[in-house]
Structure formats: C-alpha cells, structure tokens
Amino acid sequence: MDYGFLNSFIGREVDQPFWGTRTQHIIGVAGCLAITDHTSQALFQKVFKKELCFAKSPAAFVAHTFLFIFSGVTLYCAGDAALNPNHKEEDRMTTFKSETYNSYVGSNTAWFEPYVPVAVAKLAGPAAGSSWLGSALLPATLAYSTVKGVGWNDWGNSGLNELEEKMNGVGIEK
C-alpha cells in the first residue's frame, strides 16, 4: 500500500508525500467520521434528552449510522476536492459531486453496523459482543468495506493508485 511519506520509514518508494495516499485517506476519513459521529450523538442527546443507544432506540441509531457515515465521508470528499493539489481547478466541483454520490451509494450499505455486536454476542457470547473487537473494530471494518467497496467499486485491484500498481506488479506484463 502507498502510505506516502510513511513509506520511507518502511523502505518503500515515496511518490506523493500525502495527497492521494492511504495516509491522507486514513487520517481524513477517520477524523471526519469522528467529528460527524460525535456531533450526531450530541444533537440526538440535546433534542431527545437521552443518550443515543441501539438497545433503546434501534431505528434512531440505524438512521444515525447512515447519517454520520454519509456526512463524514462527504465532509472528507469536500476537503479532498477543495484542497488536494492532484485535482485540476476546473474539476474540483465535478470531483466533489461524484464523490458525494459515491458516499451516498456506499453509506446505504452500512445499515447493518449496529447489528454486528449483537450477532457477535449471539455467536461467541456477550463478552465477545461487548469487547472492543466485537463492538468497535469488526463493525467499523465491515462497514468501511461495504461503503468503500460498493460506493467506489473498489474491489480487488481497482482501488490501487499508480505507485501501488507498480509495487504490486499489477498491469505490468512479464
């Protein structure tokens, strides 16, 4: 994978130091999702005067899941379209619109995220369902996979940048 400037620490070639790399994506998407998740939960608590909880308000929590993921990824896409020097000035709005559409399509696949800890608890016991792995890492990883994979058609090699293709020998005839 192309981690930009971080590649130099693991002995890999660096093409772009930040923009268009996995590092930009990891920092940008995670940051935007944290902002929109916490904002959504705070608004819910302020309006309804109770904590947002899947067990107590499953429909509201599923709606929250879609809204914070869509909003967070769209916020990231807006920042990328506006600030990434790899985008031509005249293409920035087209890029934003296209990425927003991808965010919408992908976010619709994340409805299952709040159900993952419940399923883990049924299969492996309550301790597993309430663990960090069962209640946070696994649901987020599965949701990310469907949002990115479906929204951006990013399965297999189709999501690699040029450096990653070079590093993995994709598209190079031997």
Q: Is residue 173 part of a domain?
A: no
| Cα four-point dihedral sign 153, 156, 157, 160 | positive
Following DSSP, what letter does each residue of 61-87 receive, concatenated? HHHHHHHHHHHHHHHHHHHHHHH-TTS
CA dihedral defined by 74, 79, 82, 88, rounded to 10 degrees? -80
pLDDT at 155: 67
Is the pLDDT at 80 greater than 70? The verdict is: yes
Give the separation between CA 153 and CA 138, rounded to whole angstroms. 21
Distance of CA 12 to the CA centre of its chain: 25
Give the separation between CA 120 and CA 127, rounded to whole angstroms. 9
Average pLDDT over residues 164-168: 89
Is the pLDDT at 105 greater than 80? The verdict is: yes
Q: 161 falls in which pLDDT band (50, 70, 90)?
A: confident
Residues 6+ apart with CB under 8 A from 39: 68
pLDDT at 171: 73
Q: 168 falls in which pLDDT band (50, 70, 90)?
A: confident
Is the pLDDT at 174 greater than 70? The verdict is: no
Question: Residue 14: left if φ>0, alpha if ψ -120 to 50, beta else—which one?
Answer: beta
Characterize 136-148 residue by residue with b for buried, 16 or more Cβ atoms within 10 angstroms of its Cβ, and e for exposed: eebbbeebbebbb
Q: Is residue 36 part of a domain?
A: yes
Residues 6+ apart with CB under 8 A from 126: none
Give the separation between CA 69 and CA 165, rounded to whole angstroms. 29
- Total structural domains in the chain? 1
Q: Is residue 66 part of a domain?
A: yes
pLDDT at 137: 96
pLDDT at 170: 86
Is the pTM of the predicted complex or chain greater than 0.85? yes
Q: Is residue 26 part of a domain?
A: yes
Average pLDDT value over all residues in the chain: 93
Q: Is residue 142 part of a domain?
A: no
The domain of 65 spans 4-110
Range with lowest mean pLDDT among 40-44, 82-86, 109-113, 168-172: 168-172
Q: Is residue 129 part of a domain?
A: no
What Rg do the C-alpha atoms of the chain give, in angstroms?
18
Q: Is residue 96 part of a domain?
A: yes
Q: Is residue 70 part of a domain?
A: yes
Residue 49 to residues 44, 46, 54, 65, 133, Cα–Cα distance (Å): 8, 5, 15, 19, 30
Digit-coded pLDDT (tens) for 47-78: 999 999 999 999 999 999 999 999 999 999 99
pLDDT at 129: 97
